[in-house]
Amino acid sequence: MDGGLGGNTVPTNTSDKSKVLDVKPLRTLVPLFPEPPEGPPFVCVPPNGPLPSGFSPFFPFSGQGSQSTPDLNQNCFNSTAVPLRSFRAEPPASGNGTHKHKSAGPSSVKKKAKRRKDSESVLTSLMNFNPGISLSERDDGNRELVESVLLRFDALRRKLSQMEDAKELHLGGLKRADLKAANMMLTKGVRTNMKKRIGVVPGVEIGDIFFFRMELSLVGLHFPSMAGIDYMAIKGEPESERVALSIVASGGYDDDDEDPDVLVYSGQGGSASRDKEASDQQLVRGNLALERSFHRGNEVRVIRGLKDHVHQMSKVYVYDGLYKIQESWMEKGKSGCNMFKYKLVRTPGQPAAFATWKSIQKWKQGLSSRVGLILPDLTSGAESTPVSLVNEVDDEKGPAYFTYSPTVKFPKSFKLVQPSYACNCHDACQPGNSNCSCIQKNRGDFPYIAYGVLACQKPMIYECGPSCPCIRNCKNRVIQSGLRSHFEVFKTRDRGWGLRSWDRIRAGTFICEYAGEVIDETKARQEGGDGGSGYVFHTNRLHESFKWNFETESTEDFDIPSPVIISSKNSGNVARFMNHSCSPNVFWQPVMYESNNEAFLHIAFFAKKHIPPMTELTFDYGIPQSDGTGADNNPAYGKKKCLCRSAKCRGYFY
DNA sequence: GTTTGATCAGAGCC
DNA sequence: CGGCTCTGATCAAA
């Protein structure tokens, strides 16, 4: 792959590599806003908080939705909200600062009981939020509702998980924040498509992915929390005529899958368990319903439960659309007992979903090559995972020349000097350890939960840095560990080059940081003006607010000491290819960590929601705000027509 | 180091 | 209310 590339393409020669990894500042810039060393932080305009005083909201930001659809952007939940921190502050015991959990002596039982009571009161307070969904919205959903329910479920799940990690909450002996969160959502009525139905579920799209069975339930795609077959009675017909609505094919019965459009599904029951021998399956419940659906010919929703190759142990559920049962029979299973089998065939004309997963698997194994592949790794090894360069739409051989650099370069004078906060943890930092100074810096919260998922947005996230003695894979080192997904820079139909991922991305997952050179306003204008490369990131733009955190957890302004502008025009990473969308699936969050007693600011991108593979990654570029110098409304950064095609498109972006 | 199996407490629904 | 079920986290074992 070294020939055929013109001068206007990605560097492929390895001689660039030293340059690639050279993080020395190119030049020295005067700080934009010199700040007193210990002064209160200068808080810049929030990308997702209330508008600062002095600005009146203009069209895209003024709440337009007045239906009962929960507008999570409105702070309507704050009235009854109990600040969570007040619970957290409750001492776990009569500690004198040291929080050892070793409880000896006669009081241990009491403590346990007290702890459970604490957990109950914490849960009760967590439940104190406004469901914000009308009865009819519970019955019938739409895209907005489905996304909102999933967003809110996961925010709660992350919250519970984080609290459990920190031992502030005990959910029975079992770590099942998913069940608890779903239980709370169902209790509060935060769900949609509750009305059972055959076929399409409004708001759920083919290709949508889920990480918990309860998510399927909350949006009405498949109700049972465990069972693989969902069914319902037809009005005016006897119960024995119940038809199948959906199945979850999780591979538990050794079904093979050659053709992605065909599924052989085993009936339920009969399998051996702890205190039961294997037995013949009976034509009852789900099996009977599938049999009825076979004869009636109704479509059945299929959810493919797949082994998640990103996290070997877990599973991911892919909604693969509608199928029809073509055949049913009985055969002897491995145990020698009778099993029902159903052959389902996918209704033609539906967008690819599971098939895409299969293709990607083949690309990864090298069994079939990616169509339109220009470069297997445009980073030339600068990242730990390859980034493919692909063009399936025209003849362009690559984006304009730039140097791939995986991180951001600060000019010398722009280092953000702070007192050291390095921790003293010698293994990995443990959530709930109030002695860890990195956790203290994060206001007592461990910023990440299992799988490195961001728990919630914060004014600033502090990661452990080189000055911390904790181990390299301490859970508080996420963004510094580099890319986690196999990305692909691809040519879009009408928006130049874009970014997407071969791997599914779970909500809260770190995507990449915005790499490039930190520049000043003057330089930014030049870059924006000289043909509108658009490869510039600003921290101080106005962004449409959105609610990502748990219900009553406020979304605060970012705590960025002074506005930062990063240019990725000449050097940058995959972030420079992320296009704008008015309904983005990615958001940014400032993150700091120390290096040589200096803290550096990083702009980190995280997934807002679960993102299926091959879905374009986009974030909201925001709108230049008035800075009082008059340099705002005549956007030197050029107003561009927005092609994001989302229902909430503002029509343009900068 | 990886991957699989066994175990266990669950959730909603019928 | 009890039984049913293609869960999901954890730990032991291969």
Q: Answer for A135: CB within 7 Å of strand C.
A: no
Q: Give the mean pLDDT of A313-323.
A: 95
DSSP class of A234:
P
Q: Answer for A504: CB within 7 Å of strand B.
A: no
Nucleotides of strand B within 7 Å of the protein's CB atoms: 2-4, 7-14
- Residue A9 reports pLDDT greater than 70: no
Q: Answer for A225: CB within 7 Å of strand B.
A: yes
Higher pLDDT, A84 or A545: A545
Work out the number of other CB atoms within 10 angstroms of the CB of residue A223: 18
- Residue A160 reports pLDDT greater than 90: yes
Q: Is A410 inside a domain boundary?
A: no
Q: Estimate in Å the CA A301 to C1' C7 gap, whole number.
A: 20
Q: Answer for A537: CB within 7 Å of strand C.
A: no
d(CA A224, CA A229): 8
Q: Is A182 inside a domain boundary?
A: yes
- Residue A211 reports pLDDT greater than 70: yes
Dihedral over alpha carbons A93, A94, A97, A100 (to 10 degrees): -40
Q: Is A450 inside a domain boundary?
A: no
3-state secondary structure of A163: helix
Question: What is the per-residue pLDDT across A427-471, written as a single tens digit (0 to 9) for each?
Answer: 899 999 999 999 999 999 999 999 999 999 999 999 999 889 999
Higher pLDDT, A637 or A577: A577
List strand B contacts in A 262-301 (CB < 7 A): 274, 285
d(CA A5, CA A8): 8
Higher pLDDT, A632 or A554: A554
Q: Estimate in Å the CA A405 to C1' C6 gap, whole number.
A: 45
Q: Give the mean pLDDT of A52-73.
A: 36
d(CA A36, CA A47): 25
Burial of A554 (0-12, 13-18, 19+ CB in 10 A): middle
Would you state the pLDDT for residue A545? 83
Degrees to nearest 5, angle at CA A546 with A541 and A547: 135
d(CA A155, CA A169): 16
Q: Give the mean pLDDT of A225-244.
A: 94
Q: Estimate in Å the CA A275 to C1' C13 gap, whole number.
A: 22
Pair of tokens at residue A326:
């073509």
* Band (A626; pLDDT cuts 50, 70, 90): low
Q: In sequence order, what DSSP letters do the residues of A496-556 get, joined into one string? A: SEEEEESS-B-TT-EEEE--EEEE-HHHHHHHHHTT----EEESSSB------S-TTS--P
* Band (A163; pLDDT cuts 50, 70, 90): very high
Q: Estimate in Å the CA A278 to C1' C11 gap, whole number.
A: 26
Q: Estimate in Å the CA A286 to C1' B5 gap, whole number.
A: 27
Q: Give the mean pLDDT of A585-611.
A: 93
* Protein residue at shortest CA distance from C1' of B10: A179
d(CA A361, CA A250): 17
Q: Estimate in Å the CA A217 to C1' B1 gap, whole number.
A: 36
- Please give the backbone phi and psi of residue A171, each rounded to the nearest 5 degrees, phi first: -100, 70
Pair of tokens at residue A470:
């904790």
Q: Estimate in Å the CA A201 to C1' B2 gap, whole number.
A: 39
Q: Give the mean pLDDT of A137-154.
A: 97
d(CA A403, CA A379): 9
* Protein residue at shortest CA distance from C1' of C5: A227
Pair of tokens at residue A500:
């997407």
- Residue A149 reports pLDDT greater than 50: yes
d(CA A504, CA A416): 35
Q: Estimate in Å the CA A272 to C1' C3 gap, whole number.
A: 16
Q: Give the mean pLDDT of A90-115.
A: 41
- Residue A260 reports pLDDT greater than 80: yes
Nucleotides of strand C within 7 Å of the protein's CB atoms: 4-11
Work out the number of other CB atoms within 10 angstroms of the CB of residue A105: 7
Q: Give the mean pLDDT of A30-53.
A: 35
- Residue A218 reports pLDDT greater than 70: yes
* Band (A411; pLDDT cuts 50, 70, 90): confident
Q: In sequence order, what DSSP letters do the residues of A601-617 get, joined into one string? A: EEEEEEESS-B-TTPBP
* Band (A272; pLDDT cuts 50, 70, 90): confident
Those residues whose C-beta lies under 8 Å from the C-beta of residue A392, and which sit 6 or more positions away, are A371, A372, A490, A491
The nucleotide whose C1' lies nearest the CA of A226 is C5
Q: Estimate in Å the CA A231 to C1' B5 gap, whole number.
A: 31
Q: Answer for A253: CB within 7 Å of strand C.
A: yes
Q: Please give the helix or strand (H or E) that residue A215 lies within, else none.
A: helix A213-218
Mean pLDDT is lowest, of A103-112, A121-130, A152-161, A241-250, for A103-112
- Residue A63 reports pLDDT greater than 60: no
Higher pLDDT, A110 or A411: A411
CA end-to-end span of chain A = 35
Q: Is A576 inside a domain boundary?
A: no
- Residue A50 reports pLDDT greater than 70: no
* Protein residue at shortest CA distance from C1' of B13: A224
Residue in the block written with tokens 């500042």: A25
* Band (A392; pLDDT cuts 50, 70, 90): very high
The nucleotide whose C1' lies nearest the CA of A285 is B14
* Protein residue at shortest CA distance from C1' of B14: A285
d(CA A168, CA A165): 8
3-state secondary structure of A286: helix
Would you state the pLDDT for residue A257? 64
3-state secondary structure of A250: coil
* Band (A271; pLDDT cuts 50, 70, 90): confident
Q: Which domain holds residue A154?
A: 111-192
Q: Estimate in Å the CA A266 to C1' C9 gap, whole number.
A: 26
Longest dimension (CA), chain A: 81
- Please give the backbone phi and psi of residue A400, each rounded to the nearest 5 degrees, phi first: -60, 155
- Per the prediction, chain A carries an average pLDDT of 81
Q: Estimate in Å the CA A382 to C1' B7 gap, whole number.
A: 44
Would you state the pLDDT for residue A70? 44
State how many domains chain A has: 1
Question: What is the per-residue pLDDT across A321-351, written as a single tens digit (0 to 9) for each?
Answer: 999 999 999 998 878 889 999 999 999 999 9
Residue in the block written with tokens 């051989």: A397
Distances (CA, A) of A325 to A28, A223, A344, A459: 68, 20, 4, 52
Q: Give the mean pLDDT of A3-9.
A: 35
List strand C contacts in A 12-71 (CB < 7 A): none
Question: What is the per-residue pLDDT across A349-388, written as a single tens digit (0 to 9) for each?
Answer: 999 999 999 999 999 988 888 999 999 999 999 999 999 9
Higher pLDDT, A423 or A42: A423
| A345 half-sphere exposure, CB direction, 13 A CA radius | 7
